[in-house]
Chains A and B, each alone.
Chain A
Amino acid sequence: MEDEAFTDINGKSISLDCQSHSSLCSEFIVSVPKVSIGKVMVYTCCVWLLAYAVFFFTENTAVLSSAIFITLVGMMLHIHFVKVDHESLLVIGSLGIQVSSSYASGRETTTFIEMSKIKDIVINEAIYMHQIIYYLCVLLKEPSDPNAVSSVVPLFQSSKPRLNCLVKVYKSCQEIISKC
């Protein structure tokens, strides 16, 4: 188990946990810092003060109740659908890889990709908004043409670690994939 000071592309600190279960199987978990209570309080106060200011000028109480409702529903949707707690990659040689991301509300989404469909796991650079980032991706191959790349599955999309973290994961993955 290792834990060094990694950051994501925006500079926020994340943590990487590498577990090598055997020579053919290892798991990488990238954890994002949890929702901070300070930020939540600041957002809530701003929205409610704004609603109170609107109420002060319009004398309409529906503004206040709708502001409360919107903040509650918004926070629930955010922690259930948007806020990722940790993303994990489990590589099992000659079987496949499993990619799962777990959200702050406890929901987990998992995808399994068979080893026969995987061409390679590579670090690629691409333009993302206004910058160029490194990201780890799985290249899938078609059964008809083993040399062509049929599709690309990017990994660690929500946490977006930087290159030092990706190189570690890449090296361990290549050790396992090149054996089978």
Chain B
Amino acid sequence: MVAKSPSPLPERAIYGFVLFLGSQFGFFLFCLWAYIPEEWLHSIGLTYWPQKYWALAVPIYLLVALVITVVLLFGVNMNNTAPLDSVDIITDVYAQGQRTTDCRKGGIPRLKDVSISEVNKMFYLSPKL
């Protein structure tokens, strides 16, 4: 892979500018369709286009969906948080099944999950430095 860093590159600048021009042009076309009366569009020959109702409905739908998504995301996260009295806060399957014996004497100890009683003793019962 050549480019993995998120730094600015000339190609990315060109893509961004093309997208910018494209989105501005798309918005201009959307405004044209929304404002030009139906009779004029029919007279040109464009008959099978969506109703003008949707020029108002789609933006409103999108904004309401966005607001509800924010509220829903916050709510789902809070719902999935474990309550204060669940065992998942203290330990889990992986911590209970870890190997406690050291393989080698004198070496760096194995990485492991320290039990909460030990952590508490270290924090709160050890004499202050």
Q: Which residues of A contact B (CB under 8 A)?
A: 119-120, 122-124, 126-129, 135, 137, 139, 148-154, 157, 167, 170-171, 174
A122 engages B116 (CB within 8 Å) = yes
A124, B90: Cβ atoms closer than 8 Å? yes
In Å, the complex CA distance between A152 and B84 comes to 8
Chain A interface secondary structure, helix, strand, loop or mixed? strand
* Contact call B89/A124, Cβ cutoff below 8 A: yes
> Which B residues fall within an 8 A CB radius of A?
78, 81-82, 84-87, 89-91, 96, 116-117, 120-121, 123-125
Q: Complex: how many Å from CA A171 to CA B87?
A: 23
Q: Are the C-beta atoms of B87 and A149 separated by less than 8 Å?
A: yes
Chain A residues, CB < 8 A from B120 = 120, 122-123, 170
Q: Which 5 A-B pairs have the closest CB atoms?
A: A120-B117, A154-B84, A122-B120, A126-B89, A122-B116
User: When the two chains form their complex, are residues B84 and A128 in contact, meaning their CB atoms are under 8 A apart?
Assistant: yes
CA distance A126 to B85 in the complex (A): 10
**Given A124-B116, A126-B82, A129-B78; A150-B124 close (CB under 8 Å):** no
Q: Are A170 and B124 in contact (CB under 8 A)?
A: yes
User: A8 → chain B, closest Cβ, in Å?
Assistant: 15
A171 adjacent to B124 (CB under 8 Å): yes
